[in-house]
Amino acid sequence: MTKGITTAEGKSKKANLLVCAIVLIGAVVRFYGINFGLPHTESRPDESTIVTVAFGLGSGDLNPHFFHYPTLYIYMVFICYVLYFCCGLLSGKYTGTFDLASEFFTDPTNFFLIDRCLAALLGTVTIVVVYKIAQKLCGRKTGLIAALFLCFAYLHARDSHFGVTDVPLVFFTMCSVLYMVCAYQHRTARYYILAGLCAGLATSTKYSGIFLTGPMVLVHLCNVIDEKQVQWKHIPDKRIVLFFVCLIVFFLVGTPFALLDFATFREHFLKEAAHVREGHWTIVLGRGFWYHIRYTLYYGLGASLFIASLAGIVVLTKRDWRKALLLCSYPLLYYIVIGMSPTVFVRYAIPLIPFLCITAAVGSVRLCETFLHNRKPLLVNTFIASLSALIIAPSAYNAWRFNRVLVHEDNRVIAADWVERNINESVSIYQSFWPGLQLLPPQEELIQEYQDKIAQGGKPDEILKKQIQNMQVNNRPGYLVVKYDERKQTFIYNDMAIDTVPDYIIIGEYPLHWHSPKPSKELATLLTDSYRLVKSFIALDGQNSEQWFDQLDAFYVPFVGFNNIQRPGPNIYIYQKTDT
């Protein structure tokens, strides 16, 4: 008996060491290149929204006035900023809030890094949660393989670099699923409460967390049936009520102004719902059902891991249909919703990745154990490890190649540095792509104006957004940044047509056709007749058939296919007016 206990403890310690090793590797994969693109604050779209809203809370107005997605993660970033400020005070870096604001306007790099590191940390810890789920459902071997698969799952590893809400949503989602598994196994109110708590936090990170109600209801129905209380009146017992109460309460803990500022919340929520329902601007890529299978999941997992995950669903269903229902009900419900939508960001599929890693692990382990039945455990484990390595290899390779591109300086940062060193101020500039070069070094006047407007009762996040927009769009005071109306074939400044053409035109070229379109015929003619090319910056040396891009996101790195990629960012061509 003692020997059996000792053996079990030894296996447990060995498994824990392996999990620690996998998590450490997962952290390296997610933190490597975390400072990409900076100080360009739009190198990853939507990060600037998180950062500016979170920083704006420091004025004392805790209403973010922003609910296009919930605010839990924004508050988490804000708490990190408070800790960062306290450390600055203790170290002597800051003497007051003015110094903090000065750093933010001068170089917000650290604020973006804090945001990204928080997301990467939550992405890394998710590996542990996935291990626990798979281990409870199917044993240690399956848990270890599931953790390994998520460690190198390309889409999850890639987006863990980004300081946005998608990866934090996955963390809270998987925590809720973990407690649902415990609720299924133990049927106690405690685990219903914990599952509801985490589901509320997930919903308060991104609204799609509400779909966690689906698997919880199924778990509860299974529990009620097993308890032989099949009468309808016994189904809505206190446990499921506690789950929903906790979900609502902890949603409001993370997004309190959904209730306190309901009018703004309702307006923003309905706009976001319309965006998902109607599509993203004028880009039409089809519905998500086929798109996410053909592109997002196929490339985001790698062909072998994707196929293994689908096979694992079949294996788990045949082995224990209840566990399959518990594990697959959320991703199925979620996939139906994003599948119906014409808004097909690849990041929308991130919540599916951990579940598919678990089912792939189930299939891999079951396959090896079936074909090597009655063989020595060492041989079985060797085959499981070898098969798992082959399955995850394509995904790990993509993650490695992505990180290798990410560590190079963004082409827009290089071009902006050249412009500031070689082009005098007091000239006009037009940029054909978005996000373009950020040329404005902040000014003390901007900092003082920000604080004065807050003192006068202005909304800090709106003031901050406006000033940052002025910094990023209008550039340095000496650079007049103009726009171009292709329909009217005129240049525009301050929403008014101007008779002159800009001194410089900066063209961005990249296979993101909406964000970096080719110059119109009229603009191309103008460039030929009145301008000369003075400088080129090449980031993408020709496109090849292996490359594929997420056309909805203005993120200037391919999703897959990294040949000929020298650095992040578009190819940039700077033209000067010939009579300048």
Nearest of 470, 428, 385 to residue 577 by alpha carbon: 428
| Greatest mean pLDDT among 43-52, 128-137, 449-458 | 128-137
Give the pLDDT band of residue 450 (cuts 50, 70, 90): low
How far, in Å, CA of 437 to CA of 59, rounded? Answer: 29
pLDDT of residue 485: 86
Residue from 408, 407, 429, 434 nearest 419 by CA? 429
pLDDT for the residue numbered 476: 45
236-240, 301-305, 507-511, 574-578: lowest mean pLDDT where? 236-240
- 376 and 417 both lie in a single domain: no
Tokens of 571: 């190819």
Which tens digits make up the pLDDT trace of 186-209?
Answer: 989 999 999 999 999 999 999 999
Range of the domain at 164: 2-35+115-406
Q: Residue 496: enclosing H or E segment and its boundaries?
A: strand 496-498
Q: Residue 403 pLDDT more than 80?
A: yes
pLDDT of residue 473: 41
Task: Report how far apart the first and last C-alpha atoms of the chain are (Å, whole number).
Answer: 90
Query: What is the 3-state secondary structure of 208-275?
Result: HHHHHHHHHHHHHHHHHHHCCCCCHHHCCCHHHHHHHHHHHHHHHHHCCHHHHCHHHHHHHHHHHHHH
On the question of pLDDT at 3 being above 60, the answer is no
pLDDT of residue 499: 79
pLDDT at 266 over 80: yes
Task: Tell me what pLDDT residue 369 has.
Answer: 82
What is the chain's mean pLDDT, rounded?
A: 88
Domain check: are 309 and 343 in the same one? yes
Q: How does residue 233 score in pLDDT terms, banded at 50, 70 and 90? A: low
Residues 402 and 432 in one domain: no
Assess whether pLDDT exceeds 90 at residue 5: no
Q: Is residue 45 part of a domain?
A: no
Do 553 and 513 touch, CB atoms closer than 8 A?
A: no
For residue range 519-535, list pLDDT tens digits in order: 888 899 999 999 999 99
Residue 83 has pLDDT above 50, yes or no: yes
- Judge if 18 and 154 occupy the same domain: yes
Q: Which amino acid is at 503?
A: D
Q: pLDDT value at position 406?
A: 95
Please state, in angstroms and rounded to a whole number, the distance separating the CA atoms of residues 331 and 49: 28
Looking at the domain assignment, is residue 452 inside a domain? no
Inform me whether the pLDDT recorded for 15 exceeds 50: yes
Tens digit of pLDDT for each residue in 92-113?
998 888 788 888 877 889 999 9
Query: pLDDT category, 185, cuts 50, 70, 90?
Result: very high
pLDDT at 90 over 60: yes
Average pLDDT over residues 39-59: 90
- Judge if 347 and 416 occupy the same domain: no
Q: Would you state the pLDDT for residue 368?
A: 86
71 belongs to a structural domain: no
Overall domain count for the chain: 2
- Name 429's bridge partners: 481, 504
The arithmetic mean of pLDDT across residues 337-347, rounded, is 92
Digit-coded pLDDT (tens) for 546-579: 889 999 999 999 999 998 899 999 999 999 999 7
Is residue 241 assigned to a domain?
Answer: yes
Q: For residue 61, which amino acid is it? A: D
Distances (CA, A) of 284 to 122, 214, 342: 33, 30, 7
**Any domain includes 196:** yes
pLDDT at 457 (0 to 100): 60
Q: pLDDT tens digits for 132-141?
A: 999 999 999 9
Q: Quote the tokens at residue 576.
A: 């000067």
Q: How far apart are CA 77 and CA 87, in angstroms?
A: 15
Based on the domain organization, do 383 and 483 belong to the same domain?
no
Parallel/antiparallel/unpaired status of strands 504-509 and 427-431: parallel
312 and 195 share one domain:
yes
Residues 375 and 434 in one domain: no
Residues 137 and 143: their CA atoms lie apart, in Å, by: 9
CA angle 543, 546, 552 (to 5 degrees): 75
Mention every residue, 6+ apart, whose C-beta is less than 8 A from residue 337. Answer: 208, 211
Cβ–Cβ under 8 Å, residues 43 and 37: yes
Residue-wise pLDDT tens digits, 460-502: 555 555 555 454 444 444 577 788 888 888 888 777 787 788 8
Handedness of CA 130, 133, 138, 140 (dihedral sign): positive
d(CA 385, CA 141): 10
128/133 Cα distance (integer angstroms): 9
Between residues 4 and 220, the one the model is more confident about: 220
Higher-pLDDT residue of 7 and 545 is 545
Say if residues 411 and 569 touch (Cβ distance below 8 Å): yes
Which of 251-255, 346-350, 411-415, 443-447 has the lowest average pLDDT?
Answer: 443-447
Q: Say which amino acid occupies 413.
A: V
Q: Which of 153, 186, 166, 209 is nearest to 334 (CA)?
A: 209
Q: Are residues 352 and 420 in the same domain?
A: no
Does residue 157 share a domain with residue 25?
Answer: yes
Residue 467, domain member (yes or no): no
Is 74 part of a structural domain of the chain? no
Domain boundary residue, one of 365, 389, 406: 406
Higher pLDDT, 282 or 429: 429
Evaluate whether residue 73 is within a structural domain. Answer: no
- Paired tokens of 463: 């003031």
Same domain, 140 and 250: yes
Q: Which of 406, 430, 464 is the last residue of a domain?
A: 406
* Structure confidence at residue 474 (pLDDT): 42
Regarding whether 202 and 239 lie in a shared domain, the answer is yes
